[in-house]
Amino acid sequence: MKRILFFITLASAVSFSCKKKEVKKEAAVALVTKVADSAKAFQDEESVDSESMKSDLDYQEVSEKDFEKWKGEYFLDYIDYAGENDGTKLKAKLVLDSYEDGHFYLWYEKSNDTLKEGMHHVYGSFGKADDKNTAIKFLPEIISEGEDTGIELDYFLYNKNGKFFIKSGMIPSEDGHSKELPIQKIK
């Protein structure tokens, strides 16, 4: 009789402890769901750029014909707003040789110094950002020089009325957000 009572008590204790674990798991799942829902609500409130919401796989391939207007070299000489405002310039060079690949160079130069600090050289391909071929997105594939800092290495290149603009998370403006900046087509 004692044995039966012992096994019943043991079975009840095990059953009770298992039930508590299930309750804890349900509570944890509910908490994670609430956090995810609040993060989604916060993201919905912000003005989100629809281009940045796309996955790299959502872009159409740029045809050789469509690429003709993008082909060339571009150069950006811009004040480094993310730095200490000591006259450091942020410089970018785009070399777009073919519709299948391109190169993105980004570095900093202090005034009166030609040393390229924080040089990044990124190789990648392109995707059409719209059906009218007024914008393309650089899809980074390999960092050939520099280190992966966690910042997105992509950019958008726009053509508006024959002028070119670049927008990249690696090139912050005065207010800390990335925006379209004029870039010179040099070749």
Please compute the mean of the pLDDT values over residues 35-64 and round it to a whole number: 52
Confidence of residue 40 (pLDDT cuts 50, 70, 90): very low
- For a pLDDT cut of 70, what percent of the chain falls above it? 63
Classify each residue of 9-27 as buried b or exposed e, where b means 16 or more C-beta atoms within 10 Å of its C-beta: eeeeeeeeeeeeeeeeeee
- Tokens 């002028």 correspond to 163
The pTM of the full predicted model, rounded to 2 decimals, is: 0.64
pLDDT beyond 90 at 184: yes
Across 32-36, 69-73, 84-88, the highest mean pLDDT is recorded for: 69-73
pLDDT beyond 50 at 43: no
- Domain edges within the chain: 1-46, 53-185
CA distance 57 to 139: 9
Residue 45 phi/psi, 5-degree rounding, is -70, -35
- Beta-carbon contacts of 171 under 8 Å, excluding residues fewer than 6 positions away, are 76, 78, 90, 92, 106, 155, 178, 181
Mean pLDDT score across all residues of the chain:
73
Output 167 or 153, whichever has higher pLDDT: 167
- Give the architecture-level CATH label for domain 53-185: Beta Barrel (2.40)
